[in-house]
Amino acid sequence: MINFGKLHEYKDVFGFFAQMLTYPEKLDFHPSVMEESLDSSHPAYASVRTYWDLMHEYSMEQIEELYVQTFDFQKKSTLYMTYAKFEEGRERGQMLARLKETYQLFGLDIMSSELSDYLPLMCEFLYAAKWQGHEKEAAESLELMIAVMEDGTYHLLKALEKFKSPYFHLIQGLRETFKACIIQEAAAHEHD
């Protein structure tokens, strides 16, 4: 189950993850970008700080090259969250359709050229969607989205670890943020 309070509290962080996972631009790495998105009390801070410090060792040209080599030329480190599990199977098409319905439920139309399981798009959605006050109606859709992101980033994290990529720490931070937004089963049962 999702802790909607935490999900709302971390909205800005999802915007940061979306920004870091799209093709890099110089302004993305301005010191204020991280400072405005999360502070040292955030559960992902240590991982994101490691990513941030490592990325600042590269030139902008090297960052662009790293991004392309990591996400565009490696199937194992794709930013499409259902690909590792379903590849091009029929189940993937059904999952993409369900995700697209989630965007539409919140009045967000995605461009037809972009698949609904693209991680930066999903992070942007969690940042921008207005679901407050509609948690009951939104719960199933948001739980599906986070489950897809959680599953997809697990495979992505493993690939990035093998490549010894700085992006490993960013994805680790994203996963730590998900974990903070999920009501753990044991804790949920203690309150029964």
Distance CA 79, CA 160 (A): 11
Q: Quick one: pLDDT at residue 190? A: 47
Averaged pLDDT for residues 92-99? 93
Q: Quick one: pLDDT at residue 185? A: 60
Averaged pLDDT for residues 172-181? 96
Q: Which residue has the higher pLDDT, 145 or 136?
A: 145
Distance CA 85, CA 137 (A): 27
For the chain, how many structural domains are there in total? Answer: 1
Q: Quick one: pLDDT at residue 189? A: 45
Q: Quick one: pLDDT at residue 7? A: 92
Domain of residue 104, residue span:
4-190
Averaged pLDDT for residues 30-50? 95
Q: What residues contact 98, with CB distance under 8 A and at least 6 apart?
A: 144
Tell me the pLDDT band of 77, cut-offs 50, 70 and 90. Answer: very high
User: Do residues 165 and 70 lie in contact, with contact meaning Cβ atoms separated by under 8 Å?
Assistant: yes
